[in-house]
Amino acid sequence: MTNTPSYSGIPMIEIDGAKVRSIRESKGLTQLYLATAVGVTTDTISRWENKRYPTIKRENALKLAEALEAPLDDILEDKQESEEKKEPVLVREEIPPPPAGPAAEDQPPEKIPAKKFPSLFFILSIVTLFGIASLLWLNTKNHQPLSVSAIRVLPPHTPPGTPFPVAIHVATESTESLSLILKETLPYGCVPIAGSPPFTTLDRKTNELKWIRKSNNKKISFFYMARFTPPDNVNTDLVFDGSVTMKKGFASTSALRGDHIIQVSYYHWADNNSDGFIDDEEILTVYDRFSAVEDLDIDISKIEDMWAGNGYQWDEEKGDFAIKP
């Protein structure tokens, strides 16, 4: 392993760009996938692979190795040049010419056999083409496009200023360990509060959430809480957009399906039919979707009080719901 230099107190590591490119291409990964996983641009990945930036932050090197699913040592620059690996120079023994004189002149000229190089070249070409075709077939067989399904579940409505939950369920037919990147872009005016599992990255400027996870299951779920603060007009619809990318040899990207619009209105997000009551079916739906999520403040106890009471109404002064006596 190479020594770890530092720049202004930041640990740095020397990587071998050729090794990075070789591992990435052997696993069918794109520079965009590595850039997203590490949190840099594709131009930066290209510069790393072309050794324009041979020294990078140790933190980025660790993320890069994890995205490549390779040990860190496999992408480090090897500074030791071994002289033992050099091929020895072969010295051919000189064969003396035949003796001159009458004895040599009396011998008949040696017959030169017909050249067989064209036939040998043809055979080698056929074998090479067959080998390449076999490798391509095996590569295609082992890297079939991955079937991915990602469904978003949104509440039908939400009032301004109050938190609401969102669920995203990702499913695949594969039983192997898979890496995935989930992206979710919230509409303008929506502010993400917390995620379960926690967000890997959160861009406040673009309102984009990202998760990078490794899954050993056919299904994995993501949850987050958000709040809408209207910039001007309340009577609007909130439109959500997102995608999921999973890797099994080749990366496969799919758009999120399911719900993508929330209507802004003064009904609780759990009141699906907007009648001012939380009925039995609606509270059971809340339990089914969110009771096992411990990292988010769903406030199920308040929904239970609405269910047990005589309905609820919006309190404009408090900016919250009040239970009817």
User: Do 46 and 153 sit in the same domain of this protein?
Assistant: no
Q: Residue 67 in contact with residue 30, Cβ under 8 Å? A: no
Mean pLDDT check: name the lowest of 53-67, 105-119, 131-145: 105-119
The answer to whether residue 49 sits within a structural domain is yes
Instruction: Classify burial at 193, counting beta carbons within 10 Å of its beta carbon; exposed 0-12, middle 13-18, buried 19 or more.
Output: middle
Handedness of CA 128, 130, 135, 140 (dihedral sign): positive
- Domains held by the chain: number: 2
Position 226 scores a pLDDT of 94
User: Do 71 and 172 sit in the same domain of this protein?
Assistant: no
User: Do 70 and 179 sit in the same domain of this protein?
Assistant: no
Residue 60 phi/psi, 5° resolution?
Answer: -70, -35
User: Do 54 and 163 sit in the same domain of this protein?
Assistant: no
Question: Range of 222's domain?
Answer: 148-272+289-296
Q: What CATH number does the domain containing 261 carry?
A: 2.60.40.3670
Closest CA to 246 of 145, 153, 169: 145
Closest CA to 159 of 222, 208, 218, 228: 228
Give the domain-ending residue among 75, 94, 124.
75
Quick one: CA torsion of 27, 33, 34, 39, rounded to 10 degrees? -160
- Report the distance separating Cα 72 and Cα 231, nearest Å: 47
Average pLDDT over residues 215-222: 80
User: Do 40 and 154 sit in the same domain of this protein?
Assistant: no
Closest CA to 286 of 275, 277, 276, 278: 278
Report pTM: 0.58
User: Do 159 and 262 sit in the same domain of this protein?
Assistant: yes
Give the domain-ending residue among 75, 106, 122.
75
Highest mean pLDDT pick, 67-81, 116-130, 270-284: 270-284
The answer to whether residue 128 sits within a structural domain is no
Q: Hunting for tokens 């076999």 — which residue is that?
A: 134
Length, in residues, of the chain: 325
Position 270 scores a pLDDT of 94
Q: Residue 145 in contact with residue 250, Cβ under 8 Å? A: yes
